[in-house]
Amino acid sequence: MSEDFTSHEYDVIVIGAGGAGLRAAIESARSGAKTAIITKSLLGKAHTVMAEGGCAAALQNADPRDGWKVHFHDTMKGSKWLANWRMAEFHAKEAPDRVRELEQWGAVFDRTTKNLINQRNFGGHTFPRLAHVGDATGLELIRTLQERGIHEGIDMFTEYTVRHLLKEGDRVTGCVAYTRVDGDFHAFSAKSVILATGGITRCWSVCSGSWEYTGDGHALALWAGAELRDMEFVQFHPTGMVWPPSVRGILVTEGVRGEGGRLFNSDENGKPHERFMFNYVPEMFQGDHAETIEESDQWVEEVVSGKIATVRRPPELLTRDVVSKAINSEVKAGRGSPHGGAFLDISHRGEEAILAKLPSMHHQFKELAGVDISKEPMEVGPTAHYVMGGVIVDAETQETTISGLYACGEVASGLHGANRLGGNSLSDLIVFGKRAGEHAAKQAADFAQPSIDDSQVQAAIKEMIAPLERGEGENPGLIYDAMRDMMQEKVGIIRVKDELESALEDLKEFSQREKNCFPGTSRKYNSGWHQALDLKNMVDISIVATLAALTREESRGGHTRDDFPGHEDEYWGKTLNICWMEKGEIKIRQEPVEKMRDDLQDAIKEVKAMIAERAAEQGGGN
Q: Which residues are catalytic?
A: 237, 257
Q: Are 37 and 65 in contact (CB under 8 A)?
A: no
Neighbouring CB atoms inside 10 A of 376's CB total 12
Q: What are phi and psi of 378, to 5 degrees?
A: -90, 155
In angstroms, rounded to a whole number, what is the distance separating the alpha carbons of residues 604 and 227? Answer: 30
β-partners of residue 582 are: 585
In angstroms, rounded to a whole number, what is the distance separating the alpha carbons of residues 345 and 331? Answer: 17
Q: Are 344 and 377 in contact (CB under 8 A)?
A: yes
151 burial (CB, 10 Å; 0-12 / 13-18 / 19+) is: exposed
HSE-up of 64 (CA within 13 Å, CB side)?
0
258 burial (CB, 10 Å; 0-12 / 13-18 / 19+) is: buried
Q: Are 48 and 19 in contact (CB under 8 A)?
A: yes
Q: Are 12 and 33 in contact (CB under 8 A)?
A: yes
Q: Is the peptide bond before 244 cis (omega within 30 degrees of 0)?
A: yes
Using alpha carbons, select from 355, 302, 306, 349 the residue that is nearest to residue 115.
306
DSSP per residue over 64-78, as a string? Answer: TT--HHHHHHHHHHH
- Please, what sign has the CA dihedral across residues 305, 255, 428, 603? positive
DSSP per residue over 524-576, as a string? Answer: SS-HHHHHHHHHHHHHHHHHHHHHHHHH--S-BTTBEETTB-----TTSS-EE
DSSP 399: B
Give residue 340's region: left, alpha or beta (phi > 0; psi -120 to 50). left
Spell out the SS3 assignment of 153-201: CCEEEECEEEEEEEEECCEEEEEEEEECCCCCEEEEEEEEEEECCCCCH
In angstroms, rounded to a whole number, what is the distance separating the alpha carbons of residues 295 and 615? Answer: 13
Please name the helix (run of DSSP H) or strand (run of DSSP E) that holds residue 95, with its range, or none.
Answer: helix 85-104
Q: What are phi and psi of 215, to 5 degrees?
A: 75, 25
In angstroms, rounded to a whole number, what is the distance separating the alpha carbons of residues 62 and 214? Answer: 38
